[in-house]
Amino acid sequence: MEQFRRQIEELAGLYFIKLTAVMAMIEGNAASVCGLGIIVETSTDSTTPHTAIFDSSHFVPHSIVYYKRIWSAIMQD
């Protein structure tokens, strides 16, 4: 993740979350998901490893149909 080219002004952190876990949460089968990632210190552009728990309030509010459409498109590739 540290090799990811980031624009400091637009990124406070970056996390990997399993797509299957996100879909389970969106479908109501899980209350939250765990993300492994980094926090970016904007004043120094340094990063710190970080683990966080995310729930549906951390995601853009779209319908389940939208998320299933995205899931389907990803799975086709």
Q: Tens place of pLDDT for every residue, the chain, 77 residues?
A: 566 676 767 778 889 999 999 999 999 999 999 999 999 887 887 889 999 999 999 988 899 899 889 989 988 86
Q: What are phi and psi of 17, to 5 degrees?
A: -135, 135
DSSP code, position 56: G
- Residue 1's pLDDT is 59
Give the torsion sign (CA, 56, 57, 59, 65). Answer: positive
Q: Kindly report whether the global pTM for this prediction surpasses the value 0.85.
A: no
- Residue 36's pLDDT is 96
